[in-house]
Amino acid sequence: MKFTDLFIKRPVLAMVVSFVILIAGLQAMKTLNVRQYPRSDVAAITVTTIYIGADAELVRGFITTPIERAMAAADGIDYIQSQSTQGQSLVTARLKLNYDANKALSDISARVNAIRNNLPPESQIPVIAIQAADSQFASAYLSFTSNILEPNEVTDYLVRLVQPRLTAIAGVQKADILGGRTFAMRIWMKPDRMAALNISPSQVRDILAKNNFLAAVGNTKGSLLQVSLTANTDLHTAEQFKQLVVRQDKNTLIRLGDIADVVLGAEDYNTEVRFSGQKAVFMGIWVLPNANSLDVIKRARVELDQIRKELPTGMTAEMAYDATAYINDAIHEVVKTLIDTLLIVMVVIFLFLGSFRSVIVPVVAIPISLIGALFLMQVFGFTLNLLTLLAIVLSVGLVVDDAIVVVENVERHIADGMSRMNAALVGARELIGPIIAMTITLAAVYTPIALQGGLTGALFREFALTLAGAVFISGVVALVLSPMMSAYLLPPHHVEHGFKGWVDRTFDRFRDWYGKRLDRTLQARPAVYVVWAGISLLAGLMFLAIPKVATKELAPKEDQGVIFGIITAPANATIDDTIRYADAAGKVFHDIPDTRFTFQITSPSSGFGGMVLKPWGTRKVPTKNYLPVVQQKLAAIPAIQMFPIMPEALPGSDNFPVSFIIASTADQERILEFAKEIFQKAMKAHMFQFGDIDTKIDQPQAQILLDHDKISAMGLNMQQIGSDLSASVGGNYVNWFNMEGLSYKVIPQIKRVDRLNPEQLNDIYVTGPNNQLIPLSTIAHIQQKTVARSLNRMQQLNA
């Protein structure tokens, strides 16, 4: 007795096995993580260090290089890149494929912390984070605008009331604020007033550090009671900072308010965000890797509706961008295709079998096999994404084959005069070997795709194994359920009439016709060989011609309804100047007929902006058709460079199809010359629409050249002079103050009107002989030069 007999004679057992497969698949359907594409195993560890006031050369030498050397010894690193800019160091370690990012994070964190004392004390603590290949952008962005509140007030409201509510949503990794202006106590020093009273900038910093002090006093402990103690050693309001005593001259008190304007301002005024032309603050919602992004953003939308009801007067909130909208529509299209496929397969099966009762067997096998494949996806840790759904769609035609073979074989035995039960027993026994062989063969065809390495293997592993898993489940169903259903559902043999009889007679005539043609073909074998050789040659020529007539790319461009670009303005452009260029670019996006929203984030000499188009169902023009129109209009904006692009379809791919990195021990200028030669030859080939070199030596820089001999003769030291200059212009914070339960920075700096150009620095006063202030021009002069905007490195080589 074969094992198939057990399921035929005991139909309840066959049904139980099928229901187990069905229930396992249904519970997996509810728990599977829904994503646009499979999780990428390519990640990076970023180390960001802020050193306010430092130039790129200083940042590279004293921050970037030590961090690079420490990170290079960590395990699992493929290569290291770094970028040193004005006031910031960014070191990125790209990990090897499939390497544990958390393990790499722990290793790199330990190594960076070990050299923390070697970094300049004025630099901030390095921020170390994991950057996944498919998490370059948040799953959703919210826009908050107000025609009453200032940006720092909007930011504070978001930090206190909105951000905690969004981060508390199940599945949200973080809700960060983009382009916000955090409150800070700004001490705008007056150089002339300070010079008249002989108070140096470094003295102001010292006074702030010593008199805005957070003291943890402790508590008293008696025999029966203990009382906690506090002391008002810190300051809380602008008025308290104004009343801070800087110096006492005889009976006169010189307060901070006498030499500076003290206001509750913002940490940074170098960023401005706009949403459809109006000043705004953005929030990005990032979803946990193992969370269902569709459900998470759906819950975020519900929470946003509740938040809207509680917003202050004049403030509005919008869902500026929702990546899950595209994912949702794409998944719905795939599900629709799946339903259409099932209907077409059912019709085709009916046309060939000619009996509704015969159709039931393979039709029941299809959903059980597909739903059962979801359980295997859960076991393997896969996600429900476009590629796995594509695998399920493609598997419809494969999973139905085994059931059709069973039905056809049982019907053949019924036609030979057997009873349905005996026909099912004999037919199933005959097909055990063939069905197992078919299942293994089909699964073996797709499984090697899962063994590929690199990005292709990471993306298509789930596709291949899902397809193989569906085929495997269909083989189980064909041996367990299909024979039992055939024994009880197939009609007994009799002379067929009607539609089924017509189908059988038609196929009999076709079989006779084909048999005769096949006999004649076999008698003319040389002609068959000639035709075979001709088809093979034609196929080979077509294969060789594909690269010349078809575009090669990792994935076709998808219409995600978004166009964006990076704005590159002149290196010496201020935030005010760059905003003018960004507004012009924003108008270009706004004038597109199908534009729904526009957005821009602007900073000095650079920016980022784009547009979100109307939903796909309400527009007829695809996004890619707008690209050349937008590019032509952006190219007409003077003084800036902005190339519009669409988001990449697959995670981990670059926004540019071809990228070169030139690394050498040579200096930046020599590398740039060589890069320009390559760039010019590439553009002369007329194969590229756009090109760019990330290294640009066009950043104006004023170097303060100090007269060391004169400084030494005056009995001064560089530390004091450097401290005065840093306190005057640098803009670094001294300490923190408390305001309604949150801490904010205290930042002394001279007013912007006193540092509009490098020549004004000559009028800055620094500590001179006998602690008397002297103009900087007494001991130094200004020299202008041009430097690179950023100093890039690759594998610890200049690049």
The full DSSP string for 622-645 is -HHHHHHHHHHHHHTSTT-B---B
Are the C-beta atoms of residues 460 and 448 closer than 8 Å to each other? no
Q: How confident is the model at residue 83 (pLDDT cuts 50, 70, 90)?
A: very high
Cα gap 753→38, rounded to integer Å: 53
Element (H, E) at 95: strand 88-95
What pLDDT was estimated at residue 129?
Answer: 87
Tokens 């059988």 appear where? Answer: 504
What six digits make up the tokens of 789? 């905007």
What integer is the mean pLDDT of 109-116? 91
Determine the straight-line distance between the first and last CA of the chain, rounded to whole angstroms: 73
What pLDDT was estimated at residue 306?
Answer: 93
- Phi and psi angles of residue 550, each rounded to the nearest 5 degrees, phi first: -120, 150
Cα gap 799→668, rounded to integer Å: 7
What pLDDT was estimated at residue 260?
Answer: 93
- Phi and psi angles of residue 311, each rounded to the nearest 5 degrees, phi first: -70, 150
Q: How confident is the model at residue 554 (pLDDT cuts 50, 70, 90)?
A: low
Q: What is the dihedral of CA 126, 129, 134, 135, to 10 degrees?
A: -80
Cα gap 263→749, rounded to integer Å: 12
Tens digit of each residue's pLDDT (9 = 90 or more) over 735-783:
999 998 899 999 999 988 888 888 888 888 888 888 888 888 888 888 8
- Phi and psi angles of residue 664, each rounded to the nearest 5 degrees, phi first: -165, 165
DSSP 604: T
pLDDT at 124 over 80: yes
DSSP 388: H
Strand pairing category for 606-613 and 562-568: antiparallel
Cα gap 162→311, rounded to integer Å: 10
- What is the percentage of the chain residues whose pLDDT exceeds 90? 19
Closest to 484 in 3D by CA, of 540, 431, 410: 410
In this structure, which amino acid lies at residue 108? I
What six digits make up the tokens of 360? 């039931």
**Farthest-apart Cα atoms in the chain, separation:** 125
Helices (DSSP H) in 158-252: which residue ranges? 163-167, 191-197, 201-211, 238-242
Cα gap 312→314, rounded to integer Å: 6
pLDDT at 1 over 70: no
Worst-scoring range by mean pLDDT, 117-121, 340-344, 478-482, 712-716? 340-344
Cα gap 97→353, rounded to integer Å: 49
Q: Which residues contact 670 (CB under 8 A, 6 or more apart)?
A: 664
Closest to 640 in 3D by CA, of 581, 589, 694: 581
Cα gap 269→273, rounded to integer Å: 11
Distances (CA, A) of 793 to 88, 176, 654: 14, 29, 19
Tokens 């526009």 appear where? Answer: 598
pLDDT at 492 over 80: no
- What is the percentage of the chain residues whose pLDDT exceeds 70? 95
What pLDDT was estimated at residue 293?
Answer: 83
Strand pairing category for 562-568 and 595-603: unpaired
pLDDT at 567 over 80: yes
Tens digit of each residue's pLDDT (9 = 90 or more) over 235-264:
999 999 999 999 888 788 899 999 999 999
Q: How confident is the model at residue 498 (pLDDT cuts 50, 70, 90)?
A: low
Are the C-beta atoms of residues 139 and 296 closer than 8 Å to each other? yes
Distance, C-alpha 42 to centroid of its chain: 12
Are the C-beta atoms of residues 158 and 281 closer than 8 Å to each other? yes
What integer is the mean pLDDT of 487-498? 70
pLDDT at 656 over 70: no
781-790 core/surface letters (b: 16 or more CB in 10 A; e: else): ebeeeebbbb
What pLDDT was estimated at residue 548?
Answer: 64
Are the C-beta atoms of residues 734 and 742 closer than 8 Å to each other? no
- Report the mean per-residue pLDDT for the chain: 85
Closest to 35 in 3D by CA, of 299, 371, 387: 387
What six digits make up the tokens of 494? 């009799």
What pLDDT was estimated at residue 86?
Answer: 87
Tens digit of each residue's pLDDT (9 = 90 or more) over 356-388:
777 888 888 888 988 999 999 988 888 888 888
What pLDDT was estimated at residue 719?
Answer: 86
Q: How confident is the model at residue 389 (pLDDT cuts 50, 70, 90)?
A: confident
What pLDDT was estimated at residue 81?
Answer: 92
pLDDT at 650 over 80: no
Tens digit of each residue's pLDDT (9 = 90 or more) over 502-523:
777 777 788 888 888 888 887 8
Worst-scoring range by mean pLDDT, 8-22, 445-459, 631-645, 737-751? 445-459
pLDDT at 652 over 60: no
Cα gap 242→247, rounded to integer Å: 13
pLDDT at 589 over 80: yes
Distances (CA, A) of 135 to 463, 567, 594, 610, 651: 21, 22, 27, 19, 8
What pLDDT was estimated at residue 358?
Answer: 79
What six digits make up the tokens of 553? 């790319």
What pLDDT was estimated at residue 107?
Answer: 92
Are the C-beta atoms of residues 282 and 178 closer than 8 Å to each other? yes
Tens digit of each residue's pLDDT (9 = 90 or more) over 448-491:
887 877 667 777 888 888 888 888 998 888 888 888 888 888 87
Q: How confident is the model at residue 500 (pLDDT cuts 50, 70, 90)?
A: low
How many Cα neighbours within 13 Å face the side chain of 288? 13
Are the C-beta atoms of residues 388 and 33 closer than 8 Å to each other? no
Closest to 791 in 3D by CA, of 90, 24, 37, 10: 90
What integer is the mean pLDDT of 92-102? 85
In this structure, which amino acid lies at residue 654? D
pLDDT at 2 over 80: no
What pLDDT was estimated at residue 543?
Answer: 79
Cα gap 701→55, rounded to integer Å: 9
Cα gap 412→458, rounded to integer Å: 45
Cα gap 176→694, rounded to integer Å: 27
